[in-house]
Amino acid sequence: MVVGRFLDWIDRAPPQARAGAVAPVVGTYFRPDLSPESREAIEAVLTVLLDDPSLDVRAALADAVAGREDAPRHIVLTLAHDLPRVAEPVLERSPCLLDAELVELVLSGGARVQAAIAARPWVSYAVAATIAAEGGTEAVAVLLDNPGADIDEAAFGVMAERFGADADIRDTLFAREDLPVAVRQSLIAALGARLGELVVSRSWLTERRARSVVREACDKATVVMAGRAEEDELVELVEHLRRTGQLTTALLIRMVCEGNIRFLEAALSRLAGMPAAGVYALLTDGRDGALRALFGRAGLPERTHPAFLVALQVWREMDYDGGVADKARYTRRMVERILTRYQQFALTEVDDLLAMMRRLAADAVRESARAYARETREGTPRATRAAA
């Protein structure tokens, strides 16, 4: 190819013809048998095309070099900083761009630039964190839908905080199995708060009643999440709840009434500043005096100690056989036994806790009935064990 003639032709040819010539020229540049002198000459032609006034020409050049690891870096970088229509193929696919360059482009680029970077086959933790903190709604949505994006807990937390009110992004976050349990809980709490504000603004409930309903619903959801969490996630969830003021005595009682001693162990370990193994030993075998000392060290109000003691006594006596529907029956039996024992002395002491336990018992009965109905519909009903 005579480079001089081609450059003369570029000056006279219409944009469509110039754009059509780009791919063959780029293909020639990457031929393995091309001499160094010819490669250098063609690189000069490609460099000249960076200044072509036609977007079609520059876009064709970007598309032709986007997937090439051996593309000239100055060409890739120039195209990456061009208008979005030109830059997008390079931003989405070029392996030549460094994380530092991608981060700078996220910070300086608009929505289309950010979304293109978020769609790359692999997005590093650093780039994902920048998109989470600085990207717009479109870029964050693309990032969350990208299976090749590495997203850590901090980035998830930032996205939840920035876009938790966006229904689409919130649903996408909830649908991700790798969403950290602490972030999931924060989304639920934020959603509950917004719903509470809505019902108050519409005069559907009083502010006090709305707070109570939202708190109850949030605690229920937190109990479910804690029941599914791994050991390390429980520690993170406890710290998140403590930091946000949600690690309440009522939540701890709800947890232990549903048999989630792992959460109680993690919470008391954090609050009392004791090793988890020592806390668990006290919960399983400790005497009342030692347990009261543990509760006091953890800052639990003294008036709530009897409720925890009764719940732990019942938990030690109960057996759980592990089936899916058995969990509902187990919870019902446990809550009913705790309520039976606790109400013998609670009427003159802590009526608010008694009222909460009665609500827990009612909820447990309803969930047990739902589990029985599910079994029946599936054609595999199991005999309901009578609560002792």
Residue 164 reports pLDDT greater than 90: no
Choose among 272, 215, 223, 273: nearest CA to 246: 215
Domain membership of residue 42 as a residue range: 1-94
The pLDDT of 283-305, averaged and rounded, is 92
Q: Strand pairing partners for 149?
A: 123
Residue 159 lies in a domain: no
Q: For tokens 């009392």, name the residue.
A: 272
Judge whether 57 and 39 are in contact, CB under 8 Å: no
Tally the domains of the chain: 2
**Whole-number pLDDT of residue 387:** 42
The pLDDT tens digits of the residues spanning 106-162 come to 999 999 999 999 999 999 999 999 999 999 999 999 999 999 999 999 999 999 999
381 C-beta neighbours (distance < 10 Å), count: 13
The pLDDT tens digits of the residues spanning 64-98 come to 999 999 999 999 999 999 999 999 999 999 999 99
Choose among 101, 102, 32, 34: nearest CA to 68: 32
**Whole-number pLDDT of residue 96:** 95
The pLDDT tens digits of the residues spanning 231-278 come to 888 999 999 999 988 898 888 988 888 888 999 999 999 999 999 999
Choose among 83, 119, 327, 372: nearest CA to 228: 327
Residue 269 lies in a domain: yes
Residue 213 lies in a domain: no
Residue 100 reports pLDDT greater than 90: yes
Q: For tokens 């009965």, name the residue.
A: 365
SS3 state of residue 261: helix
Residue 119 lies in a domain: no
Residue 5 lies in a domain: yes
**Whole-number pLDDT of residue 232:** 85
As a whole number of angstroms, the distance between CA 376 and CA 374 comes to: 5
Helix 111-118 and helix 125-134: axis angle, to 10°? 150
Residue 326 reports pLDDT greater than 80: no
Residue 157 neighbours by CB under 8 Å, 6+ apart: 180, 182, 183, 186
Residue 282 lies in a domain: yes
**Single-letter code of the amino acid located at 280:** Y
Give whole-number Cα distances, 386 to 175, 183, 257, 336, 368, in Å. 37, 39, 18, 11, 12
Residue 386 reports pLDDT greater than 60: no
The pLDDT of 197-212, averaged and rounded, is 69
Residue 233 lies in a domain: no
